[in-house]
Amino acid sequence: YAEAMESPIQRHLDDLLQDVSRITDGRPYSVHPPGRDPDPDAFGICLATVDGHVYTAGAAADTEFSIHSISKPFSYALALADHGLDAVDEKVDLEPSGDPFNEISLSPDSGRPANAMINAGALAVVAMLKGGGGKSAPRRIVDFYSRLAGRRLSVDQSVYDVEIRNSDRNHALAYLLSSFGIIDDDPTRALKNYLRQCSMQVTCRDLAVMAATLSTGGTNPVTGEDVIDIESVERVLSVMMTSGMYDDAGSWASSVGMPAKSGVGGGTLAVLPGQAGLAVYSPPLDRHGSSVRGVETCRRLSRDMEMHFVRAA
């Protein structure tokens, strides 16, 4: 621990946190249980390396928040493992949409969503996740994410309750997907399971370990457990690279250059394949629904530590 405190990486993260703390732009996501307004000053950064070192900075590095859209790549990985790439591709395409997260981005003839990172694609993916081995689908999702994080995670029921009450657009998307046959069973089941997975509580540390599990090619670097196969990891990271940051994907690819995913809960996750996973928590969001400080932290770290794919090579 003392060694970690003195390491150049630790010092760098501490300094960066201080610097980026000065940014006060953006507004937190407005949907949350009564009395649970997100703290706009909460800030945490976590870097997990492929050899299992975990560095954290900020008082909120171990604060729990809702994973929201950062769940999408992980449920995509589970669907790929369950059904194989081809079967999943029949339901969800892998093209960048460059659209906002809740865009109705379906192919006009087939109804296939553009990719698994936007809500339409995520709903189609969740619909493919069925129960099995004596476990319900939601249970399988929680168990899978827990193995990725190396810690028992759980869904916050009160977050889920407010999400479901504010789900008209996702509801509409689920029914539209059903009308095209992309969702082949009850669309409200997919909607509920999607919102349950969005309501999963994670910390910055959890997300960094989940990201690092993608960096290693599927082995959790802290627990040593093999969680995802390499084909699925490759696919997930590719789609994150082109579509993880929605309509900000091009600017992100240029200024950060890492596959990444943001969530309206204030989390940002980025992956440096073969090296490290990075996560930031800060609730105020930009117009794309990504954390303002999260994006800035990733930009600066990418530059300072040469994490952009062009430099990291």
* Minimum gap (Å) between residue 63 Cβ and ligand GLN: 17
Residues 255-294 that bind ligand GLN (CB under 6 A): 263-264, 289
Nearest-5° Cα angle at 220, 216 to 225: 120
Kindly tell me which residue out of 10, 102, 223, 255 binds ligand GLN, with binding defined by CB under 6 A: 102
Q: Nearer Cβ to ligand GLN, position 119 or 203?
A: 119
Q: Nearer Cβ to ligand GLN, position 99 or 163?
A: 163
Residues 173-202 that bind ligand GLN (CB under 6 A): 198
- From 47, 218, 68, select the one nearest 148 (Cα to Cα): 218
* Minimum gap (Å) between residue 264 Cβ and ligand GLN: 4
User: Any bridge partners for residue 276, and if so which?
Assistant: 49, 272
Rounded to whole angstroms, the Cα distance separating 256 from 234 reads: 19
Q: Nearer Cβ to ligand GLN, position 49 or 268?
A: 268
246 assigned to a ligand binding site = yes
281 assigned to a ligand binding site = no
Kindly tell me which residue out of 55, 65, 101, 160 binds ligand GLN, with binding defined by CB under 6 A: 101
* Minimum gap (Å) between residue 69 Cβ and ligand GLN: 3
Count CB neighbours of 111 within 10 A: 18
119 assigned to a ligand binding site = yes
Residues 210-249 as x/- pattern, contact with ligand GLN by CB under 6 A: ----------------------------------------
- From 104, 132, 116, select the one nearest 80 (Cα to Cα): 116
Q: Nearer Cβ to ligand GLN, position 13 or 77?
A: 77
282: phi then psi, degrees, rounded to nearest 5: -165, 115
Residues 107-146 as x/- pattern, contact with ligand GLN by CB under 6 A: ------------x---------------------------
Contact between 170 and ligand GLN per CB under 6 A? yes
Residues 55-74 as x/- pattern, contact with ligand GLN by CB under 6 A: -------------xx-----
Q: Nearer Cβ to ligand GLN, position 68 or 205?
A: 68
Q: Which tokens hold the place of 174?
A: 């689920």
- Tell me whether residue 88 is exposed, middle or buried, using C-beta atoms within 10 angstroms of its C-beta: 0 to 12, 13 to 18, 19 or more: buried
**Binding-site size, ligand GLN (CB under 6 A):** 11
- For helices 72-83 and 230-243, what crossing angle results, to 10°? 140
Residues 9-38 that bind ligand GLN (CB under 6 A): none
CA torsion sign for 112, 113, 115, 116 is negative
Residues in touch with ligand GLN (CB under 6 A): 68-69, 101-102, 119, 163, 170, 198, 263-264, 289
Question: Which residues define the annotated binding site for substrate?
Answer: 69, 119, 163, 170, 194, 246, 264
Question: Which residues define the annotated binding site?
Answer: 69, 119, 163, 170, 194, 246, 264
